[in-house]
């Protein structure tokens, strides 16, 4: 069957009343979560995941993806109205969005952000549809050796391209991987790393516990520390006249928006990169290729359009490797992956063969979610303005309650709630000391796969380590991984002679 008819079949699933309702609900929830300063898609998905037990598994994934989408749209709202990015992915939107709001053009900026998000989302979903099946076909040829090499490659992109401190990144990857081995040994079934002989550790440390701790509790603690004074909300009202003007202005920005979409999609696929660098890069390209480069940062509508197309495209891009290869392209998709595994839907090429209804239903729901998001976003702007006036203390209290109860619900063990509190406080401290948290979460999710594929290969090849480099595909991945790993070293060596000339700031 060709992609088009598969997609049409998918729409039959995603346009069912239940799933359509779920998409609308998810997008609306996502928009509000994204619009709240400090809360982004990853926090939203982590906090809401336990609540999705209320719907069947395949619908739960659609709900989470809709939240993901909505949050990417919503991030622009607080960037523009408060001048505080709703999530790190919307940082670049503040550069021109905030000046526009201060000039009384908040409505126009919000329209631009919504339209740009829609264009970025649509172009990237089409790219997603085109690439998904071939990539899954390729991945069918993967054995355990390739799986291991691919996971290794995913981690080395953090070292090579992550932009964080290399040593701190390595510490976080190793910590995540070691924490993922807690529980029973995959091969021999013997217990290991059972801290303090607590029975709760026998079932391992769930990705959800870490995610709720780090992205729920840790984020609230961070917000408490950084929110000394309540920010000023810029009022915004949208009239049909402004809507028309907004569409006309956006119609002139097709080049910027397509560059942003393609860039975002491909950057988003890389585990270490994702929406934040993609949007910053798109902003940079838009500014350097613009004829009016000096107006950027002073309220140029193009400076809102470029990052917003890119961050939405990146969120779709990061779904691609998650769904086809089982390797998430961002922390949020790592949580989606964990959720899918929890519900027995193991992402990867086999999912396309065994559960085509689900896969194409999910892909088609991205189209619906995108469409719903732009409409709801524009319609609910007055409501966002109202919601943004909500004091931090109310928001934080509700999030903390949801973290505690939501952490208890999946396993129904107090052990997990204690772990969440521990991870929350530890995550808050690590984040303050500039340790990146995304590789930690990704490592915990991918750890079992990495260890299993490594040991399976060695058992199958009777202990021959060279098997990883002898197979062409896995050999290529390993070579790329080595390259990424050596990248910071090369950068360092090239930079060090200059250091005497330009002292570090």
Partner 1 sequence: MLTADRVIAASLMVFSAYLMWHATVLPIGWEGSSGPGGGAFPFWLSLVMLLASGGILVRSFVSGSESDKPFFDPEMIRSVVLVCVALIVTIGAMQYLGTYVALIGFLLWYLRIFGGHSWALTASITLITPVFLFFFFEVTLKILLPKGVTEPLFLPLYAMFF
Q: Identify the residue among 9, 11, 20, 53 touching partner 1 (CB under 8 A).
A: 53
In angstroms, the CA 439 to CA 104 distance is: 40
Q: Does 496 bind partner 1 (CB under 8 A)?
A: no
DSSP designation for 186: T
Nearer Cβ to partner 1 (75/439):
439
Residue span binding partner 1 (CB under 8 A) among the ranges 19-27, 123-131, 178-186, 301-309: 178-186
What does 409-447 look like in DSSP terms, one character per residue? TTT--HHHHHHHHHHHHHHHHHHHTT--SHHHHHHHHHH
Residue span binding partner 1 (CB under 8 A) among the ranges 25-33, 326-334, 367-375, 453-461: 453-461
Residue 419, Cβ density class (10 Å: 0-12 exposed, 13-18 middle, ≥19 buried): buried
Within positions 152 to 171, which residues make up the interface with partner 1, using CB under 8 A?
Answer: 165, 167-168, 170-171
Nearer Cβ to partner 1 (283/468):
468
Q: Does 429 bind partner 1 (CB under 8 A)?
A: yes
Counting residues that bind partner 1 (by CB under 8 A) gives: 61
Query: Percentage helix, strand, coil, to 5, in the chain?
Result: 80, 0, 20
Site mask for partner 1 (CB under 8 A), range 389-428, x = bound: --x-xx-xxx-xx--xx--xx--x-x--xx--x--xx--x
User: Are 424 and 218 a contacting pair, CB within 8 Å?
Assistant: yes
Q: Identify the residue among 1, 8, 130, 185 touching partner 1 (CB under 8 A).
A: 185
Residue 352, Cβ density class (10 Å: 0-12 exposed, 13-18 middle, ≥19 buried): buried
Nearer Cβ to partner 1 (318/457):
457
Min dist. Cβ of residue 409 to partner 1 (A)? 5
The set of residues, in sequence order, having a beta carbon less than 8 Å from that of 107 and lying 6+ positions away, is 236, 237, 238, 239, 242, 246, 381
* C-alpha to C-alpha distances, 238 to 8, 10, 106, 246, 325, nearest whole angstrom: 35, 35, 9, 10, 42
Q: Does 491 bind partner 1 (CB under 8 A)?
A: no
Residue 214, Cβ density class (10 Å: 0-12 exposed, 13-18 middle, ≥19 buried): buried
Q: Which residues share a beta bridge with 191? A: 184
In angstroms, the CA 168 to CA 175 distance is: 10
Within positions 205 to 224, which residues make up the interface with partner 1, using CB under 8 A?
Answer: 217, 220-221, 224
Residue span binding partner 1 (CB under 8 A) among the ranges 47-55, 63-71, 79-87, 203-211: 47-55
Q: What is the SS3 assignment for 191?
A: strand
Within positions 362 to 391, which residues make up the interface with partner 1, using CB under 8 A?
Answer: 391
Q: Does 188 bind partner 1 (CB under 8 A)?
A: yes
Q: Does 487 bind partner 1 (CB under 8 A)?
A: no
Residues that bind partner 1 (CB under 8 A): 51, 53-54, 165, 167-168, 170-171, 174-175, 177-178, 181, 185, 187-188, 190, 192-193, 195, 217, 220-221, 224-226, 228, 391, 393-394, 396-398, 400-401, 404-405, 408-409, 412, 414, 417-418, 421, 424-425, 428-430, 432-433, 435, 451, 454-455, 457-459, 462-463, 504
């Amino acid at each position: 069957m060709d992609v088009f008819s598969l997609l049409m079949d998918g729409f039959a699933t995603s346009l069912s009343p239940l799933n359509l309702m779920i998409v609308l609900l998810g997008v609306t929830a996502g928009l509000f979560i994204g619009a709240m300063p400090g809360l982004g898609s990853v926090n939203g998905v982590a906090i809401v995941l336990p609540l999705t037990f209320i719907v069947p598994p395949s619908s739960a994934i659609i709900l989470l993806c809709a939240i993901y989408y909505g949050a990417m749209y919503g991030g622009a709202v607080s960037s523009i109205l408060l001048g505080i990015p709703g999530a790190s992915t919307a940082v670049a939107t503040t550069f021109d969005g905030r000046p526009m709001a201060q000039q009384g053009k908040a409505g126009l900026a919000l329209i631009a952000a919504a339209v740009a998000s829609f264009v970025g989302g649509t172009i990237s979903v089409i790219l997603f549809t085109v690439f998904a099946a071939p990539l899954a076909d390729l991945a069918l040829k993967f054995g355990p050796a390739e799986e291991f090499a691919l996971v290794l490659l995913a981690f080395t992109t953090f070292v090579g391209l992550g932009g964080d401190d290399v040593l701190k990144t390595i510490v976080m990857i190793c910590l995540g991987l070691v924490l993922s081995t807690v529980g029973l040994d995959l091969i021999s079934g013997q217990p290991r790393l059972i801290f303090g002989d607590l029975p709760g550790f026998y079932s391992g440390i769930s990705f959800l516990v870490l995610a709720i701790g780090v992205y729920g509790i840790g984020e609230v603690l961070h917000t408490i520390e950084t929110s000394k004074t309540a920010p000023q909300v810029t009022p915004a009202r949208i009239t049909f006249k402004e809507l028309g003007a907004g569409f006309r202005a956006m119609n002139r920005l097709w080049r910027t928006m397509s560059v942003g979409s393609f860039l975002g999609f491909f950057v988003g696929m890389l585990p270490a990169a994702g929406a934040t660098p993609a949007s910053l890069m798109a902003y940079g390209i838009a500014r350097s290729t613009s004829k009016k480069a000096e107006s950027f940062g002073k309220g140029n509508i193009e400076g809102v359009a470029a990052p917003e197309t890119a961050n939405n495209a990146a969120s779709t891009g990061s779904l691609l490797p998650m769904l086809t290869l089982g390797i998430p392209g961002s922390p949020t998709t790592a949580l989606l992956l964990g959720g899918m595994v929890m519900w027995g839907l193991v992402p990867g090429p086999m999912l396309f063969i065994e559960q085509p209804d689900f896969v194409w239903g999910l892909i088609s729901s991205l189209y619906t979610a995108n469409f719903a998001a732009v409409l709801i976003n524009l319609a609910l702007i007055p409501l966002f303005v109202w919601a943004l006036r909500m004091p931090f203390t109310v928001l934080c209290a509700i999030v903390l309650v949801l973290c505690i109860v939501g952490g208890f619900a999946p396993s129904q063990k107090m052990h997990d709630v204690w772990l969440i509190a521990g991870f929350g406080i530890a995550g808050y401290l690590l984040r303050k000391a500039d340790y990146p948290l995304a590789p930690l979460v990704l490592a915990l999710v991918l750890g079992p796969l990495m260890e299993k594929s490594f040991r399976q290969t060695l058992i199958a090849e009777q202990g021959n380590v060279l098997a990883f480099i002898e197979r062409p595909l896995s050999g290529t991945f390993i070579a790329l991984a080595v390259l990424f790993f050596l990248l910071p070293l090369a950068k360092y060596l090239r930079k060090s002679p200059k250091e005497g000339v330009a002292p570090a700031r």
